Amino acid sequence: MKKTVLITSALLGVAAGTPALAAPIVVSTLSSWDGSSSIGDFGSSGFSGWGQFLVAPTGSNRLLDFTFLLSDALKGSNTNAVPVEFTAHLVQYNPFTRFIVGPLLYSSAPVTVPLTAGLDFHTYTFDIDAEVTAGSTYMMFLFATNFELRIPDDSRLRLATANTDLGGGAYNIPWDAESDLDELLSGQWRFTAGQDLAFSATFDFRPANEVPEPSTAALLASAGAAGLWATRRRSTTDRQR
């Protein structure tokens, strides 16, 4: 069974009322996935990070969304196995030096993948709507936020892989398998040329006058981020009383 999960953006996007042009550009390897091929492990007993990089196509200036196929491949017989929790991130990437360029362009809220006894793939789509530059390379990667767990029977994730060779792209893993997020952002990555994850990415072009002002986008974040801010603010106010 394949299920779909939509992850809302921490950036202001189309859902907030900003119109996009009618012809988005979809870069996808999903059609070449055979329904079972995958690679891993990602999580407490494997790599802390895993991703895919690609070149923003000509005529685009926004990345609207990104999709991965993930399966929680339960290891061992421990009935109290801990599921992998991860966050998704978008960065600009230099495939020649294999270093991330600049700051995070998008970060998702934490996601927990349901435990399964076998390869039960779920489709995870991240609604991003971030500014990109056509011809530049970008990487969408996942980071296991509970990677420090060292329980032998912890679960771990596998990512679906496609039987295709995407020009200018490949799957990516960090040199240091157990890097934390700061190390992933500053350290070197490695990849196998010609191998891609099963993924899709939707690009679009939007004139500058249709993109919200930065101050507005900063105030109108996702509902989850706004709720978290409000909760922290109430908690701080209560302590001050």
The whole-number mean pLDDT for each consecutive block of 10 residues of the chain, a chain of 241 residues, reads 42 40 84 88 78 93 95 67 87 94 95 80 94 96 78 73 84 85 92 82 86 50 41 41 46
CA 82 – CA 11 distance, rounded (Å): 30
- CA 127 vs CA 28, 106, 119, 166: distances in Å: 16, 10, 25, 22
Amino acid at 79: T
pLDDT, residue 23, reads: 82
In the chain the first and final C-alpha atoms are separated, in Å, by 52
Tokens (6 digits) for 150: 């060292």
pLDDT of 74: 63
Which residue stretches of 43-199 are H helix? Answer: 181-186
Backbone angles phi, psi at 237, to 5 degrees: -65, -40
Predicted pLDDT of residue 79: 61
| pLDDT for the residue 48 | 85
pTM here is 0.75
Residue 241, pLDDT score = 46
Backbone angles phi, psi at 82, to 5 degrees: -95, 125
Task: Locate the DSSP E strands across 56-210.
Answer: 62-72, 85-94, 99-107, 111-112, 121-131, 137-144, 156-162, 170-174, 189-191, 196-197, 199-204
Q: What residue has token string 């500058």?
A: 208
Cα–Cα distance measured from residue 173 to residue 52, given in angstroms and rounded to the nearest whole number: 9
Q: Nearest CA to 37 among 5, 71, 66?
A: 71
| Cα dihedral 110, 93, 162, 48 sign | negative
25, 177, 212 from 61: Cα distances, Å: 11, 32, 14
> Quick one: pLDDT at residue 78?
59
pLDDT of res. 144? 87
